[in-house]
Structure 1
Amino acid sequence: MSNVNITSKGIQKILKKYNAEQAIAEYIWNGFDAKADTVFVDYTVDALGTLEFLEISDNGYGINFDNLRTKFEPFYESEKAIEISAPVHTSAMHGKNGVGRLTFFTFAFSAQWITTFQTAEGLKSGKIQMNAERLNNYEPVALTVAMSNHSGTTVTFKDVQLSSNQMDEEILPYLMAEFCWFLELNRSKNFRIIINGEVLDYTPNVSSRDELEFYEDKSGTVFRITFVQWKKALHRELSKYYFLNSTDNEVYKDFTTLNKKADDFFHSVYIQSDFFDDFNFKSSESDQQDQLFGKTKSSAEYKFLIKEISKYVLDRRKPYLRTFGERMIERFEEDGILPEYANEWEGKYKRAQLNEALLCLYGIEPKLFTNLNTDQKKTFVRFLDVLLESNEREQLLTIIDGIVDLEPEEREELAKLFSTTRLNRIAGTAKLVAERYRVYHLLKELVTKPRLNAVEVKHLQLAIERHCWILGEQYHLITPADARFEEALRSYTHILTEGDNAPGIDQPDELRDTDVFVSGQRILGNRVENILVEVKHPAINIGKEQYLQVDQYLDIILKQPEFGGDNMYWAFHLIGQQFDDSGFMEQKIAGNQNPADPWLALSLHDGRVKVYVKTWNAIFADFELRHKQISEKLKLERDRLINEWSTMAM
């Protein structure tokens, strides 16, 4: 019996960061570290779904009993837990001083190794046993007869504490992500992990694969590239370049430039070329002799390769990041992180500008948006929104450059974004204003006619339904009410025309038929905002009678179960050519005078129900005032932007 240098509990403490799937992976790595090209994992399950047998075997060079102490007696004297890590610059040896061999305690009570190894006298075999209660003791037995006609090791585990569900749902997926990059690295050598007779298929973890060549003109050097993007993280391996020589052997590996970017862009880049047959990766640029007589990182071919492959990987990453950035913005919207805007053009064009800036920043440095709580995200996003609208927007480059080390191309991309989004917003807003003026002139032409035919009434109806913003910016998101809802509202509209009389019109039905009634709705969380619009026949002047019609209509509506909820808000707009001579409407409006809420004639239930009475002239005057200010602001901003570009061009 031989002893490991530490107590059994001490060993378990050192290896406490290992779990069952990591431990099983270590036994597979032991096989590949022993130069195996195939590792077998075999297990059986009893009627209760528990593993009754688990065995991991390989065709590597075995465990030479002359070196047994270095394999089973790790030199760690400290009980500090071992950090689970991967070799940085080589894949040839993954294990760490044999400690992985002691991790079976995470899933089984005992382990037995039967190994066959080559010696000067030929093949020899030996057996080693350990159990979880005495990890500091191992029992080696040299066998008199070789147990196999080739070298290799078989580890059999007893009293396994795993279920078939754990194997299917946890361990096998873990092994796929753990070994996919390594199996891809050795694909030409047919490296395999065979589990219960089936080759472990890692392609479900492949998001995409590209094969391409880079050709360096001056030397004629060809670099054959295989790029693989993975769906899941590669555990400890991270994203790396793998440099292979003409015999497909790895000579070096190194991190790509896109590690730890918090963007889940997991990838491996395999670079094969005879250029690496006698390449010295350890040489520095100060080693002049190596530079003169050997291939090093200072070689023109290598610099060409790194420049081209870095650009390629960055280009592959951009659409991926845009997709993830768009999902991030969707989550921001769902979580209330994005700002709300006061009117339609702000909501449409400022939001587009903000979204584009967020996407651009996410593409440059996803870490800007990770590890922030909701309040911090709100602060960052709204600060960005304010700066985008200010004359200090260029300061964003300075701020971001202070947080993230921007490449020249990234800095140029941001500068271009901040300029083009301004121009796009100006052009888009100008287009929206022009469309509104078209609707404005159409409405003005219709409502000033002394009489409207049936077609014109329909046009007026549709124009108001689709463009409620004509009544105020607060209505720019209003949409037509649900058909059943509107039908219920319309069933009482006869009240709104009863008693109407106009000079020169003999038939009351004509007044009723040429009135326009529009209903719209906006839902904000639990709050339902309803807008009702009644447009009177041009011959009807609005006075007390029309006002009382609205009052009676609302009284009936609010008594209906489907309309009377506390979360239902109502804004009724009564519109006509002019008020009558009684002065009644002017008095009602003056009695509710509120600069922030003009033309309010009635407010009930703490402002939940409001009635507005307006003339078309007042509506059109308000429209012209609002849009004149917007047009002037657009012109000033456009002129300022042109002036900035002219200055930059000088």
Structure 2
Amino acid sequence: MKKHTTQLTSKSIEGSGLPTDYKKAIAEYIWNSFDANASIVEINFRANGIQAIQSFSIADNGTGINFSNIADTFGNFMVSLKANSFSDTGFIKGKKGKGRYSFSIFCSKAKWDTTFISEEGHYLNYIIQINREEIQNFQTGDTSIKKNTQTGTKVIFEDFYNLTGDLLDNEDFEKYLANEFGWFLYLNKDRDYKIIINSRPLNYESVIGDSEDRDITYGDFVFKISFLRWNEKIGDKYYYYFLNTDKKEAYRKHTSFNNKTADFHHSVYIESSYFDSFKPTKLDHPVLDQTFNQSDPVFKLLVENLNELVGQKEKAFIRDLKAGELIESYNQRNIFPIFGSNKYEQLRKDDLENVVKELYSVQPKIFQNLSIPQSKTIVGFLNLLLDTDQREHVLSIIDNVVKLTDEERRELSSVLKSTKLSQITHLVRFLENRYTIVNILKLLVFDLKKFTDERNHIQKIIEENYWIFGEQYHLVSADKNFEILLNNYYSHLENNKKKNEKIDHVNKLKRPDIFIARKSEIIDTNDSDSTVEENIIVELKRPSVIIGNDQFQQVERYLRFIIEDDRFNSVTRTWKFILVGTKVDDYIRDLHVSQKEKGKKYLIQSIRNYEIYAMTWDDLFRIFTIKHKHLIDKLEFKTIVIEELQLKGINLDKSGSDILTQIALSKDKTILVDGFADDDLPF
């Protein structure tokens, strides 16, 4: 062996910033192998029963160490022939020439068994050796011609201390190598680059949570983009790495996408010949040699595309992974309200979880660092709001708390819009309220009839819930005289009404109970080219009154009043007068029979476009039950609605229940409900 003496001392080498951890030291040798154009790096070690290392080497299939340059490589320190090197940190791993001394932290001797191609084309092999005691010097053996045609270098370590077999045969060691070299192996996966540990390839994919490759073209340049999301933190900041044709880093730029969540660990690598002559600059004009730089339009377009990609990845990561973890945590800590086991309650639970997920995706910080009571307060508030018709107001509230982008606002809005659950919720509440109103009426006209009168009890309910006579009508007046009724009527139906109308009639102060009208025009059954407007006047009778001739005559006087006043009786309007009471006498039943050929149930008189109907409360309640049961039967979620209504004490096949009666009696006011459109009453 020939000894080579340098001007260095062991103290100057040891004080130069060599790695202090065996994992980093080993990584230096692996990077040296890849810097030497290796595609395969093999780590082999063997230990005895007490974990003392018996052999340890790192071999590669790189270009080897040219003996003719040995004085400029091993002979120099802090200077290297390597102009640049592969790196995940931007620092050039091999350019200072320090890596070869890293062995000194865990063993006393290192030998490089290397094969290279000489200028004459021969495969020459020789040995380089460094001892820790004389680390400033190195020794070389004579070169010999190798018969095989394979270049490469094998570093053999001997005389170990501070290193045992269990430190190499260790999950943490392999995870460190995967984090250190994962990006490089991923970018070179098509070229089958590998790190092999005791005949087993390093599983670098284990540290990658998500990856995507895509190519984009701007002008004459193709950019190969590789997005990697790491399972663990790789640094305080995250970068776009711009690589040239040789996959060497030409420039890097912060991604600025680690603000929403601390767990979005990512790197983006962009390979292109565009970066072969790339020169980063903060100037707003091209550099003098006209090479490409940050102010170039192509580079600006590229960065815009990269920002869009990472933004999408961040959103998907938060929504699909982190939001799921939040929901699981909330369920474990009982943050969510308690929901029943029936299908409707489970749909409500799913809806609340979806909204929490979407809100978390838009702005995770809303839910971070909260105590359990604070978390329950936010989730409870959302649950209450989602269970009303005001669910879309969540967007306005959140928008006042955090600044939403247009895209975030659109996505959140789509989640908050009417869904199957909100339809079910609205329908259940709609039906519950309607059945409650009907049950209140039943109590008044059947159970409390001794105390009930039409004006103070029944009429007050009907005027707020006139849907019972048809969804399509508009309330014109309730318990008002004909003079007020007329003006209300014109105000609703006439577009050009300018002043109140006066009526000169003996019956102008008569007060029909309910006057409702439909402003929208319908086809005239007698003339398909014409349309008519429908009007209904309802006369309600207290339970003690049996509808007979006297009541019929009262309504007929209303009819005559309308007929005799030209301002009321346009032939383009139809008028229906409805008498409602607990019972009808034989006189009314005979009138029903007399009008039977008209095919309209409950009809007792028909004159031109005027009709009078008489019916019982039981008739009206039966029509209500049939129509609303038919509505439910047409729903795809019929079972869920029925289950929920039954939990609220509403059985669609019965007149009511004790629970519903209690609900009805506990109401301090009637409920006006916006209705679902359904069929008319059969008159």
What range is the shorter-chain TM-score in? 0.5 to 0.7
Counterpart of 2:428, as a letter, is L
* Higher mean C-alpha displacement, 615-624 vs 114-123: 114-123
Number of residue-to-residue matches in the alignment: 433
**CA 316–340 in structure 1, closer or farther in 2 if over 3 Å, else same:** same
TM-score of the aligned structures, taking structure 1 as reference length: 0.52
> Residue 308 of structure 2 corresponds to which residue in structure 1?
311
> Residue 433 of structure 1 corresponds to which residue in structure 2?
429
The CA distance in 1 between the partners of 2:127 and 2:338, in whole Å, is: 75
Equivalent residue in structure 1 for 2:293, among 296, 306, 320: 296
The 8 Å contact of residues 63 and 116 in structure 2, kept in 1 or not, is answered as: no
The 8 Å contact of residues 36 and 61 in structure 1, kept in 2 or not, is answered as: no
Counterpart of 1:52, as a letter, is Q
1:200 deviation in Å? 3.2
> Residue 172 of structure 1 corresponds to which residue in structure 2?
174
Counterpart of 2:204, as a letter, is Y
The CA distance in 2 between the partners of 1:400 and 1:313, in whole Å, is: 21
Equivalent residue in structure 1 for 2:42, among 40, 45, 48: 40
> Residue 202 of structure 1 corresponds to which residue in structure 2?
204
Matches within 5 A, 1:21-60: 21-33=23-35, 36-48=38-50, 50-58=52-60, 59=62
> Residue 213 of structure 1 corresponds to which residue in structure 2?
215
The CA distance in 2 between the partners of 1:432 and 1:208, in whole Å, is: 43
Equivalent residue in structure 1 for 2:137, among 132, 135, 140: 140
SS of 1:394's equivalent in the other structure is helix
Equivalent residue in structure 2 for 1:3, among 4, 9, 22: 9
The CA distance in 1 between the partners of 2:54 and 2:669, in whole Å, is: 81
Does residue 359 (structure 1) correspond to residue 361 (structure 2)? The answer is no
Equivalent residue in structure 2 for 1:328, among 315, 326, 329: 326
1:270 deviation in Å? 3.9
The CA distance in 1 between the partners of 2:401 and 2:354, in whole Å, is: 18
> Residue 233 of structure 1 corresponds to which residue in structure 2?
232
Equivalent residue in structure 1 for 2:661, among 604, 621, 637: 621
The CA distance in 1 between the partners of 2:671 and 2:9, in whole Å, is: 87
**CA 410–619 in structure 1, closer or farther in 2 if over 3 Å, else same:** closer
The CA distance in 2 between the partners of 1:26 and 1:338, in whole Å, is: 51
> Residue 127 of structure 1 corresponds to which residue in structure 2?
129
SS of 1:295's equivalent in the other structure is coil
1:412 deviation in Å? 4.8
Over the matched positions of the two proteins, sequence identity in percent amounts to: 25
Matches within 5 A, 1:110-509: 110-114=108-112, 126-130=128-132, 138-146=135-143, 152=153, 154-159=155-160, 161-164=163-166, 167-187=169-189, 190-205=192-207, 209-216=211-218, 219=219, 221-230=221-230, 232-233=231-232, 235-236=234-235, 240-246=239-245, 250-259=249-258, 261-262=260-261, 264-280=263-279, 282-284=280-282, 286-290=283-287, 293-324=290-321, 325-339=323-337, 354-366=352-364, 369=367, 374=372, 377-378=375-376, 394-401=396-403, 407-414=405-412, 416=413, 420=417, 427-434=423-430
Q: Deviation string for 1:375-417 (max 9, x for gaps)?
A: 665566567768989978634323223xxxx544335544x26
The 8 Å contact of residues 240 and 255 in structure 2, kept in 1 or not, is answered as: yes
**CA 186–332 in structure 1, closer or farther in 2 if over 3 Å, else same:** same
TM-score of the aligned structures, taking structure 2 as reference length: 0.50
1:181 deviation in Å? 0.7
**CA 227–398 in structure 1, closer or farther in 2 if over 3 Å, else same:** same
* Higher mean C-alpha displacement, 63-72 vs 328-337: 63-72
> Residue 543 of structure 1 corresponds to which residue in structure 2?
none
The 8 Å contact of residues 109 and 132 in structure 2, kept in 1 or not, is answered as: yes
Counterpart of 2:182, as a letter, is C
SS of 2:417's equivalent in the other structure is helix
**CA 440–44 in structure 1, closer or farther in 2 if over 3 Å, else same:** farther
1:288 deviation in Å? 1.7
Counterpart of 1:258, as a letter, is F
SS of 2:423's equivalent in the other structure is helix
1:177 deviation in Å? 3.1
SS of 2:286's equivalent in the other structure is helix
> Residue 681 of structure 2 corresponds to which residue in structure 1?
none
**CA 241–399 in structure 1, closer or farther in 2 if over 3 Å, else same:** same
1:145 deviation in Å? 2.0
The 8 Å contact of residues 234 and 265 in structure 2, kept in 1 or not, is answered as: no
The 8 Å contact of residues 114 and 155 in structure 1, kept in 2 or not, is answered as: yes
The CA distance in 2 between the partners of 1:117 and 1:38, in whole Å, is: 15
The CA distance in 2 between the partners of 1:627 and 1:438, in whole Å, is: 13
SS of 1:184's equivalent in the other structure is helix
1:330 deviation in Å? 1.7
Unaligned residue ranges in structure 1 (runs of 5+): 74-85, 132-136, 445-614, 639-650
The CA distance in 2 between the partners of 1:259 and 1:64, in whole Å, is: 45
Counterpart of 1:181, as a letter, is W
The 8 Å contact of residues 35 and 60 in structure 1, kept in 2 or not, is answered as: yes
1:41 deviation in Å? 1.1
Counterpart of 1:431, as a letter, is L
Counterpart of 1:429, as a letter, is T
Q: Deviation string for 1:344-366 (max 9, x for gaps)?
A: 99976875565344322332344
The 8 Å contact of residues 262 and 370 in structure 1, kept in 2 or not, is answered as: no
**CA 143–279 in structure 1, closer or farther in 2 if over 3 Å, else same:** closer
> Residue 642 of structure 1 corresponds to which residue in structure 2?
none
1:53 deviation in Å? 1.6
Unaligned residue ranges in structure 2 (runs of 5+): 80-86, 441-654, 677-683
The CA distance in 1 between the partners of 2:667 and 2:347, in whole Å, is: 16
1:156 deviation in Å? 0.7
Q: Deviation string for 1:319-358 (max 9, x for gaps)?
A: 4432221232121111123355899999768755653443
The 8 Å contact of residues 244 and 250 in structure 1, kept in 2 or not, is answered as: yes
1:305 deviation in Å? 2.7
